[in-house]
């Protein structure tokens, strides 16, 4: 298979060539420069200004973190300062990239303008801290082809490099067999940035895109990857083999075949996947990265031991959702706040329970710092 997915997007909207792991500047640079009043519709091109039109920020195998969106506890307004410093903390841990507007980012609770603000704050924070080459994937799923393309365009102007797209599901009963294929192809045709297919049946009325469909869609030059939160490693292996996915040791076609949860990081790599996009990275990015490093070094026994701890921690995240993740961030790292209503705010007993579920993992994380 040719390496078409390693080539720049048709619209060439990215930047490449800077060090993958630059020395970070002080976090104080980004802690105080973000306030919602600083961003407006007139500044849409600001976050993308550091992008060289001739080259993309290429995706590389590894761990990508779908970042949490933080709010001020009293008003529920975006807390752009915390969003910025959290992004830098993750970059310093060695992750391969970040994802905004995912499930962990409460995208469904945000307006279009707020989505843009979050991505801008993330991009500007990374650039200010010396991580100009770190790519950002932006969640752009919507119920219509038209709005999905609009979100892809807004993602680009806000500093996003790639779009992560869920299939529409509200009118699921009325779709024809070819409807989803046409949806992804039409979005990919119109999007100014490359897209990744997001297969997450739990979020889209049970729609589970099979390996044949994803392998077919992978032939589109502007579809460069997939995220499988379905947890089906058999499907992941079939897709990875069918598209010659990039792995930590092989460039392949450049197509990114990603697991969607940290609890099967090692399994993803063993069957030929490219890495993960996992929300647990908000709590323990170094632990997730360490598994990929051990796998690449051939240290499977050590990798399996870490994977077991990460899997137990990920169950705490899966069972408690974004409410538990934010609570654990507050307990162990001093920031996190609450999700937007109508999601509940945990009481002390619930917060203690969440903290207990993450305790073993956070101890591992701190030992790796």
Tens-digit pLDDT profile for residues 76-88: 999 999 999 999 9
Quote the pLDDT of residue 334. 97
Section 165-183 average pLDDT: 95
Query: Of the candidates 40, 45, 9, 208, which has an alpha carbon nearest to the alpha carbon of residue 123?
Result: 45
Section 103-114 average pLDDT: 96
Quote the pLDDT of residue 3. 43
313 or 48, greater pLDDT = 313
Euclidean distance between CA atoms 350 and 338, whole angstroms? 13
Q: Tell me: the pLDDT tens digits for 259-280?
A: 999 999 999 999 999 999 999 9
Which tokens hold the place of 349? 């007993």
Q: Mean pLDDT across the chain, nearest whole number?
A: 88
Quote the pLDDT of residue 318. 95
Quote the pLDDT of residue 363. 98
Euclidean distance between CA atoms 182 and 186, whole angstroms? 6
Quote the pLDDT of residue 369. 86
pTM of the model: 0.88
**Catalytic (active site) residue 299:** no
pLDDT at 14 over 70: no
Report the 10 Å Cβ neighbour count for 94: 18
Quote the pLDDT of residue 61. 98
pLDDT at 320 over 90: yes
Section 17-23 average pLDDT: 32
Euclidean distance between CA atoms 233 and 272, whole angstroms? 10
CA distances from 341 to 95, 109, 204, 216, 345 (A): 30, 9, 21, 40, 8
Say if residue 19 is exposed, middle or buried (CB neighbours under 10 Å; 0-12, 13-18, 19+): exposed
Section 170-194 average pLDDT: 96
% of the chain surpassing 90 pLDDT = 84
pLDDT at 24 over 50: no
pLDDT at 28 over 80: no
The SS3 of residue 149 is helix
β-strands 256-259, 97-100 pairing: unpaired
The confidence band for 5, taking pLDDT boundaries of 50, 70 and 90, is low
Section 154-182 average pLDDT: 96
Euclidean distance between CA atoms 223 and 5, whole angstroms? 8
pLDDT at 54 over 90: no
Of 116, 176, 216, 227, which is the active-site residue?
Answer: 227
Quote the pLDDT of residue 48. 53
Section 314-336 average pLDDT: 97
């Amino acid at each position: 298979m040719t390496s078409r997915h390693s080539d720049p997007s048709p619209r060439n909207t990215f930047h490449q060539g800077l060090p993958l792991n630059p020395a970070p500047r002080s976090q104080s640079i980004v802690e105080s420069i973000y306030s919602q009043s600083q961003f407006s519709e007139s500044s849409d091109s600001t976050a993308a200004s550091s992008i060289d039109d001739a080259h993309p920020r290429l995706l590389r195998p590894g761990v990508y973190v779908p970042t949490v969106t933080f709010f001020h506890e009293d008003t529920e307004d975006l807390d752009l300062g915390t969003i910025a410093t959290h992004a830098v903390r993750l970059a310093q841990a060695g992750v391969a990239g970040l994802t905004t507007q995912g499930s962990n980012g409460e995208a469904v609770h945000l307006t279009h303008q707020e989505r843009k603000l979050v991505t801008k704050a993330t991009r500007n924070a990374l650039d200010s801290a010396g991580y100009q080459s770190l790519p950002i994937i932006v969640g752009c799923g919507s119920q219509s082809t038209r709005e999905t393309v609009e979100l892809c365009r807004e993602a680009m102007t806000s500093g996003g490099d790639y779009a992560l797209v869920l299939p529409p599901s509200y009118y699921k009963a009325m779709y024809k067999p070819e409807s989803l294929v046409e949806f992804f192809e039409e979005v990919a045709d119109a999007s100014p940035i490359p897209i990744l297919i997001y297969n997450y049946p739990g979020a889209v009325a049970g729609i589970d895109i099979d390996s044949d469909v994803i392998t077919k869609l992978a032939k589109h030059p502007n579809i460069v990857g997939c995220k499988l939160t379905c947890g089906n490693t058999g499907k992941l292996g079939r897709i990875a083999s069918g598209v010659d996915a990039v792995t930590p040791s092989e460039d392949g076609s450049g197509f990114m075949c990603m697991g969607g949860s940290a609890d099967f990081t090692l399994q993803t790599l063993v069957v030929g996947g490219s890495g993960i996009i996992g929300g647990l990275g908000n709590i323990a990015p170094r632990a997730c990265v360490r598994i990929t490093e051990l796998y690449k070094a051939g240290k499977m026994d050590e990798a399996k031991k870490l994977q077991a701890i990460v899997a137990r921690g990920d169950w705490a995240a899966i069972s408690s959702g974004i409410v538990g993740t934010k609570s654990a961030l507050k307990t162990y790292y001093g920031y996190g706040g609450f999700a937007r209503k109508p999601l509940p705010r945990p009481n002390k007993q619930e917060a203690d329970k969440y903290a207990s579920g993450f305790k073993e993992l956070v101890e591992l994380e701190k030992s790796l710092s």
